[in-house]
Amino acid sequence: MNATGVIVEYNPFHNGHAFHLEQAKKVSGADTVIAVMSGNFLQRGEPALVSKWKRAEMALKFGADILFELPYQFAVQQADIFASGAVSILEAAGCRSLCFGSESGNMESFHQTLSFLEEHNPVYQERVRLHLDSGFSYPKATSMAFLDLRPEDELVDLSKPNNILGFQYLRAASTQKSSMKLFTIARKSAGYHDEQFSSDSIASATSIRKALFSENGEIEYIRQYVPESTYQGLLQYREEFGGFHYWEQYWPFLKYRLVHLQPEELRGIYEMEEGLEHRFLAAAIQADSFQQFMEKIKTKRYTWTRLQRACIHILTNTKKTDMPNKPIKAKYLRLLGMSKNGREYLNRHKSDLQLPLISRISSQAVQQLHLDIKASRVYAMAIDGELQRTLLQKEFKQPPIMIN
């Protein structure tokens, strides 16, 4: 069986994702799609709208065949580490190809850009440091450094979010000497950060989430932008757990953590640079909401995303010693779900997998999954009473989801 891989968050799964899955099979010639999906907390430092189990179910009902969880160690990270972990999982799962969405839609341009930056790497890194020293954030500094090199027109625009991720996938595959062939598909209609609907059927996940919360969780407003399975899945989740997850629910827990931490303790948290801890501690006392808190700590040097990731790490008590300081490979394959076709693929290729396959949490797996388990415990705190226990127990009792 021929598998292609996709790297996703599905927050939530929408029509653009369905198009991506369809095109991934088409351009790669694969008969199986393996998705690596972030868990309950996401790359931009946000809680997922609904749990990883519900998001996996939505994806399996509309074209994905196997869902592996991207471990917390990689999921709540900057783009290069995020990409490194995800690419290593797809390689270990036996994917022959990787297919990603981009604003460019031209794979040759990505290869040319990688060669260009490798050729000019010393100058590029020097320009990055110069812009960082001028007070710009790391993403802005890298984008400015790239433009400083006067790239040719046929190179990829690395100021675009999906182009950035796609470039990091290619670089990770190159660094890891992956055997996968990479394909890219141009994004349709909606941009990654678009907050407004601009099409009759395709919308960004950002605009879908904004519509959900601006309309008090009324799902009818987004129905035309998501498959029916997503629409029904969101209804079911809201009915079961009383609503969706968003940052303000976690603000009391974050504030409690911050007002009880000493500066030296906060400095030990991952993504906390020296001096930033004082800004966090002062803002926590003054702010009455997460939005207010973020507005008080935001600076030109630190992106909103970077600061949100630091907040997640504070909530989960993730220390600098818990996380990699450079891109590394994943150590296991955490199976969230599979279709009938996906089950056949795993039955055929189980002995060929390059990493241990975890489908249930055993005593041995607990040690490997300790960061993921902590993240799931924190994620469940947004739910009240017995329902919190119900959501948390899924981490230990939920078998891989099966969709026929």
Determine if residue 382 is labeled as part of a ligand binding site.
Answer: no
98 within 8 A of 90, measured Cβ to Cβ:
yes
96 is in an annotated binding site: no
Q: How many CB atoms lie within 10 A of CB 389?
A: 10
Question: CA 204 from chain center: how many Å?
Answer: 15
Residue 16 annotated as binding site: yes
- The answer to whether the annotation marks 13 as part of a ligand binding site is yes
Separation of alpha carbons 100 and 187, rounded Å:
9
Q: How far apart are CA 43 and CA 211, in angstroms?
A: 21
Amino acid at 164: I
> DSSP assignment of 345-392, as one string?
HHHHHGGG-SS-EESS--HHHHHHTHHHHHHHHHHHTTS-HHHHHHHH
Neighbouring-strand partners of residue 86: none
Question: Is 18 marked as binding a ligand?
Answer: yes
Q: How far apart are the first and last CA of the chain?
A: 18
Q: Is 10 annotated as a binding residue?
A: yes
Report whether 17 belongs to an annotated binding site: yes
Is the bond preceding residue 12 a cis peptide, omega within 30 degrees?
Answer: yes
Q: Is position 360 annotated in a ligand binding site?
A: no
Q: Judge whether 187 is annotated as a binding position.
A: yes
Identify the three-state secondary structure at position 112: helix
63 labelled binding-site residue: no
Is 19 annotated among the ligand-binding residues? yes
Q: Is 163 annotated as a binding residue?
A: no
Q: Is 260 annotated as a binding residue?
A: no
14 is in an annotated binding site: yes
Interaxial angle between packed helices 304-315 and 290-297, expressed in degrees from 0 to 180 and rounded to the nearest 10? 120
Q: Determine whether the annotation assigns residue 399 to a binding site.
A: no
User: Which residues define the annotated binding site?
Assistant: 7-20, 101, 162, 187
User: Which residues define the annotated binding site for ATP?
Assistant: 7-20, 101, 162, 187
